[in-house]
Amino acid sequence: MPAPALTIDRLSKRYGSVVALDEISFEVAPGELFGFVGSNGAGKTTAMRIVLGVLAADSGAVRFGGEPVTHATRTRIGYMPEERGLYPKMRVLDQLVYLAELHGLDNTRAHQAAEGWIERLGLCERRRDEVQKLSLGNQQRVQLAAALVHDPAVLVLDEPFSGLDPIAVDVMSEVLREKAAAGVPVVFSSHQLDLVERLCDRVGIIQKGRMVACGAVAQLTSAALLVVSAPDARCGWAGELLGVRVVADEPGRTVLELGPGVDDQCVLSAALATGAVREFRWRRPSLAELFRNVVTGSGE
Ligand SMILES: Nc1ncnc2c1ncn2[C@@H]1O[C@H](COP(=O)(O)OP(=O)(O)OP(=O)(O)O)[C@@H](O)[C@H]1O
């Protein structure tokens, strides 16, 4: 059976006077890796917890293959909570078998799945250890295994990369890519924007509970930036140019965004007026630059 799409439709949630989510919507298609990014407190965890049914929305809906999420369909979601919900005194293997059985696998299949993920995630030597005795990074590997052990149809992961060493980041990335390639919609939150940019097909940027940008990474980062290296120029030289926004200003090197109708040759003349120009080229912004731009623009 093909995996269903995950649809988040105009979710709103308040905690007293705090608006955590304000009509937030997005969809994650089967086979898509969707990166959910935003500043601290933007509302990512709240949205993910509502998807899982751990928290109720004030309004809006979560759909799975077009149908409202029920208790039965929820068991098909693999979830990695931000607060990491493992049993500290349970051994790694026992824990994974238990969670797999809880999601409906019989004991033999639960053992096979648990052993498979233990091996895949490099936990063989830790399989008989209590979770609380593992390093934080290894606990996180177990948490990922816990999200995957019942072969979920959708993956929802809250900051799965935080605190991982580079090898574990590679393993995590590979697993997420593989699940997406197998047709599973995968959504994860992260503050590591370079990683999100590398991995994701689409991203959603949430700010104060509102989706302020959502789309394909290439499309969102298509507005070009102008890089100008003028070693003799004093800092701030470009700030006086009309219609030009300074994105970054280091000694000798400036990154600019030109407003509509601004002629780049006028910028070149202004740069040459400061002395030699060693570099003058257009480039795409990174996701991190886009994020800063969008978040600043939305009033942060
Ligand atoms: N149980 C709660 N009671 C009151 N306010 C809450 C509660 N949980 C979250 N909030 C508030 O809701 C807003 C959204 O929080 P949320 O944890 O969803 O953000 P986040 O994007 O996941 O942040 P982070 O990147 O720091 O994990 C914040 O203002 C937060 O303080």
* CATH number of the domain to which 118 belongs: 3.40.50.300
Please work out whether the CB of residue 54 comes within 6 Å of at least one atom of ligand 1. Answer: no
Query: Could you read off the pLDDT of 96-128 as tens digits, one per residue?
Result: 999 999 988 999 999 999 999 999 999 999 999
Domain boundary pick from 161, 191, 217: 217
Q: 297 lies in a domain? A: no
Q: 160 lies in a domain? A: yes
Handedness of CA 151, 152, 154, 158 (dihedral sign): negative
- In this structure, the answer to whether residues 273 and 176 fall within a common structural domain is no
Q: 153 lies in a domain? A: yes
- In this structure, the answer to whether residues 211 and 246 fall within a common structural domain is no
The total number of structural domains that make up the chain: 2
Ligand 1 centroid to residue 192 C-alpha, Å = 19
Q: 260 lies in a domain? A: yes
Q: 1 lies in a domain? A: no
- In this structure, the answer to whether residues 147 and 25 fall within a common structural domain is yes
pLDDT of residue 87: 86
- In this structure, the answer to whether residues 209 and 241 fall within a common structural domain is no
Please work out whether the CB of residue 143 comes within 6 Å of at least one atom of ligand 1. Answer: no
Ligand 1 centroid to residue 22 C-alpha, Å = 13
- In this structure, the answer to whether residues 125 and 274 fall within a common structural domain is no
Q: 291 lies in a domain? A: no
pLDDT of residue 69: 85
Ligand 1 centroid to residue 219 C-alpha, Å = 29
Q: What mean pLDDT is predicted for residues 237-248?
A: 90
Please work out whether the CB of residue 265 comes within 6 Å of at least one atom of ligand 1. Answer: no
- In this structure, the answer to whether residues 211 and 229 fall within a common structural domain is no
Closest ligand 1 atom to 13 CA: 12
Closest ligand 1 atom to 40 CA: 26
pLDDT tier for residue 2 given thresholds of 50, 70 and 90: low
Could you give the percent of the chain with pLDDT greater than 90? Answer: 73
Q: 236 lies in a domain? A: yes
ipTM of the complex: 0.96
- In this structure, the answer to whether residues 114 and 133 fall within a common structural domain is yes
Domain boundary pick from 217, 233, 252: 217
- In this structure, the answer to whether residues 10 and 119 fall within a common structural domain is yes
Give me the domain span that covers residue 267: 225-283
- In this structure, the answer to whether residues 153 and 259 fall within a common structural domain is no
Please, is 259 exposed, middle or buried when counting C-beta atoms within 10 Å of its C-beta (0-12, 13-18, 19+)?
A: exposed
Ligand 1 centroid to residue 77 C-alpha, Å = 22
Q: What mean pLDDT is predicted for residues 277-289?
A: 93
Q: pTM of the predicted model, to two decimals?
A: 0.86
- In this structure, the answer to whether residues 269 and 186 fall within a common structural domain is no
CA-closest residue to ligand 1 atom 6 = 15
